[in-house]
């Protein structure tokens, strides 16, 4: 009997086939490589959430790395029912986004994210991110996905500002400190109020898990990458490049041991699989 854990991987941008500012080929390949390290896993791959129900029925885990695609209302109902029945969803980076509306601000047209049904299932909503920057991430002790991670680590990435939609039911794993969004005027997305800032006035949530019925969601905001042909970053923080010029190729946290360990932990959490290779040793505390 085949008892392999099914994993459905959704990686893609919008419009369909476009990278939407990310190196989707690189992210897809890295995720498949990590899945290949898990024993007893078989994978399917899509570029969006079309026919989602077709794949969920044979999957234990859904993994998404997207910039634009999102489950529509019907797909979200299928996803929610699957999660309540015991499925698990590892949602990465731009999964907290989705549809943007055009708004006028100070006489200029900007984009503002629209809160939709899939955000309620996911448990968070993307507001904006400042230019690529280097920042320190704190790791909550004792979290199911934190095995082998240091107490904190530095990362070069997009620092997502996400609003938690079910904070009382959320088990926070990663946080960082950023009291004020340092984005230049009219950079990125518009938002009415900084609902990503926690009650202490300085903390931002970067990763968490939450239960839904007999299933669960894990969301990790980290993970930007772009190539020479997919780069749309107009500038970066001085902590990335002193002259503010965007690197043509950017891998961010993908080559950093803490991020790779985090993703490996999350895949094992989602599939119940064991590593095919020897588990990497615990990372040194920084």
Domain housing 119? 5-275
> Strand 133-139 and strand 170-177: pairing?
antiparallel
pLDDT category at 92 given cuts 50, 70, 90 is very high
Q: What is the pLDDT of residues 193-231, one digit of tens each?
A: 999 999 999 999 999 999 999 999 999 999 999 999 999
Domain annotation covers residue 22: yes
Measure CA 41 to chain center: 21
Domain annotation covers residue 88: yes
Domain annotation covers residue 280: no
Residue-level pLDDT at 106:
76
Residue-level pLDDT at 190:
95
Over 80: is that where the pLDDT of 82 sits?
yes
Over 80: is that where the pLDDT of 84 sits?
yes
Q: Angle at the Cα of 173 (from 168 to 178), degrees rounded to 5?
A: 90
**Mean pLDDT, residues 166-193:** 95
Tokens describing residue 25:
């080929």
Q: What is the pLDDT of residues 136-167, one digit of tens each?
A: 999 999 999 999 999 999 999 999 999 999 99
Residue-level pLDDT at 283:
52
Residue-level pLDDT at 284:
47
Residue-level pLDDT at 160:
98
Provide the β-strand partners of residue 105: 108
Full 3-state SS string of the chain: CCCCEEEEEEEEECCCCCCCCCCHHHHHHHHHHHHHCEECEEEEEECCCCCHHHHHCCCCEEEEEEECCCCCHHHHHHHHHHHHCCCEEEEEHHHHCCCEEEEEECCEEEEEECCCHHHHHHCEEEEECCCEEEEEEEECCCCCCCCCCCCEEEEEECCCEEEECCHHHEEEEEEEECCCCCCCCCCCCCCCCCCCCCCCCCEEEEEEEEEECCEEEEEECCCCCECCCCCCCCCECCCCCCCCCCCCCECHHHHCHHHHHHHHHHHHHHHCCEECCCCCCCCCCC
Inter-residue contact 197 to 180 (CB < 8 Å) = no
Higher per-residue pLDDT: 79 or 3? 79
Domain annotation covers residue 284: no
**Mean pLDDT, residues 121-130:** 98
Residue-level pLDDT at 105:
78
Over 60: is that where the pLDDT of 25 sits?
yes
**Mean pLDDT, residues 23-32:** 98
Q: What is the pLDDT of residues 235-283, one digit of tens each?
A: 999 999 999 999 999 999 999 999 999 999 999 999 986 665 444 444 5
Residue whose C-alpha is closest to residue 31's, from 70, 66, 73: 66
Residue-level pLDDT at 280:
45
Domain annotation covers residue 113: yes
Q: What is the pLDDT of residues 93-113, one digit of tens each?
A: 999 999 999 998 777 889 999
Q: The dihedral of CA 256, 240, 209, 29: what is its sign?
A: negative
Q: What is the pLDDT of residues 33-62, one digit of tens each?
A: 999 998 889 999 999 999 999 999 999 999
Over 70: is that where the pLDDT of 7 sits?
yes
Please count the structural domains in the chain.
Answer: 1
Radius of gyration of the chain measured on its C-alpha atoms: 18
Residue-level pLDDT at 1:
35
CATH number of the CATH domain containing 149 = 3.40.50.880
Residue-level pLDDT at 2:
54
Domain annotation covers residue 13: yes
Full 3-state SS string of 178-208: CCCCCCCCCCCCCCCCCCCCCCCCCEEEEEE
Over 90: is that where the pLDDT of 127 sits?
yes
Residue-level pLDDT at 275:
64
Residue-level pLDDT at 274:
65
């Amino acid at each position: 009997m085949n008892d392999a854990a099914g994993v459905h991987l959704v990686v893609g941008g919008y419009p369909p086939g476009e990278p939407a500012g990310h190196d989707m080929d690189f992210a897809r390949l890295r995720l498949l490589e990590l899945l290949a390290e898990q024993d007893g896993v078989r994978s399917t791959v899509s570029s969006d959430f079309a026919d989602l129900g077709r794949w969920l029925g044979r999957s234990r885990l859904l993994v998404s790395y997207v910039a634009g695609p999102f489950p529509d209302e019907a797909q979200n109902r299928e996803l929610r029912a699957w999660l309540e029945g015991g499925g698990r969803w590892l949602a990465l980076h731009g999964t907290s986004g989705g549809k943007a509306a055009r708004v006028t601000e100070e006489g200029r047209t900007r984009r503002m994210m629209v809160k939709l049904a899939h955000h309620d299932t996911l448990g968070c909503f993307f507001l904006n991110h400042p230019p690529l920057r280097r920042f320190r991430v704190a790791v909550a002790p004792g979290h199911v996905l934190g095995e082998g991670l240091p107490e904190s680590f530095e990362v070069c990435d997009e620092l997502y500002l996400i609003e938690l939609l079910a904070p009382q039911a959320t088990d926070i794993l990663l946080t960082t400190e950023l009291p004020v969004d340092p984005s230049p005027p009219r950079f990125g997305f518009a938002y009415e109020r900084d609902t990503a800032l926690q009650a202490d006035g300085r903390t931002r949530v970067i990763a968490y898990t939450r239960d839904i019925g007999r299933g669960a969601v894990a969301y990790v905001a980290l993970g930007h990458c772009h190539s020479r042909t997919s780069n749309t970053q107009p500038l970066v923080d001085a902590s990335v490049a002193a002259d503010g010029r965007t690197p043509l190729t950017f891998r961010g946290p993908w080559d950093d041991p803490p991020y790779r360990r985090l993703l490996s932990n999350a895949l094992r959490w989602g599939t119940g699989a064991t590593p095919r290779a020897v588990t990497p040793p615990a990372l040194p505390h920084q």
